[in-house]
Amino acid sequence: MKNAFATIFMIPFDFFGMGKAKDSQTDGGKAQVRDISPKQAKEIMDGSDPFILIDVRTRDEFQRVHIKGALNMPVDTIESGAQTGLPDKNGLILVYCASGARSARASKMLAAMGYTNVNNFGGIMNWPYDTVSG
């Protein structure tokens, strides 16, 4: 049943192009948000390049389940949290939430603030790899 729900839920995302890698320019062509798949995000995480993984869900959601190594920065704290938690505006940033809506919003906010390498991989509900709680 869970797989059937995931399949049914993903149809609208695939219809609207979610889950496919695509780039969008913001901030006069300087800052970039890239939509990537969970598989692409996992490949980055397993690679040797440094990155910052941001979970933009609420603290309660984060405590229930999150991807190991993620920094919890709820979407409504992105502007203030980025000032101290994300000092490198050119660093590789991976962003996720529950379903993809908040991560898309947060990614655009980061790009508007001048972050140049923001990668949105949607929601943890589509993350087929290991997670942790607490």
Strand, helix or coil at 12? Answer: helix
Residues annotated as part of the active site: 97
The Cα–Cα gap between 51 and 39 comes to 16
